Amino acid sequence: PLRAGGLLQRLQLVFVALATAACVCPLRLWPAAGMLRREHVVMVGVVASRVGLWGFDLCERQALQQACVAAGGSEGGARASDGTVALFATEKALTELAGLAMLAASLPLSDPEAFGALAALSLAAVTGAAALIACADSGKFQRTILPA
């Protein structure tokens, strides 16, 4: 689940970057290539990025379940090691904090013209998550925190 999660998170990053580029690109610079309209690129990018996010979330849940089973808690008994529980609790707390920050940022940026700024903030958050995942994607991390 860890490799699949990393792949799905990178998929999310690519499509968020594509949607953000379409949002912030001035209309006069947007290539008028047939029916490829900027709005379509944004919508497809948003939908595809959600698929990456949901897939990553499923992989994360599977990794947590496997860590619980490896620690001796079978059949739903959540007896994971303290390090694993702390890791996933911290990740969940940071996720909720980032969601709250995006909500707070969207209040003053409620005009449709400011959507590009919100998209750029989202891209920054997804890029930061990708960097954290890349740092954690090492054999030592997987052996100590998430035993196979």
Per this entry, what is the length of the chain?
148
Between residues 12 and 69, the one the model is more confident about: 12
pLDDT digits (tens, 9 = 90+) for 46-87: 999 999 999 988 988 888 788 777 766 555 555 556 666 677
Q: Which of 63, 58, 67 is nearest to 8 (CA)?
A: 58
The pLDDT of residue 138 is 61
The band of 25, judged by pLDDT with boundaries at 50, 70 and 90, is confident
**Domain total in the chain:** 1
Longest dimension (CA), the chain: 60
Containing structural domain, residue 38: 2-144
Mean pLDDT of 136-147: 58
Q: Is the pLDDT of residue 7 over 70?
A: yes
Q: Is the pLDDT of residue 26 over 60?
A: yes
The pLDDT of residue 1 is 73
pLDDT digits (tens, 9 = 90+) for 98-127: 889 989 989 998 888 888 898 999 999 899
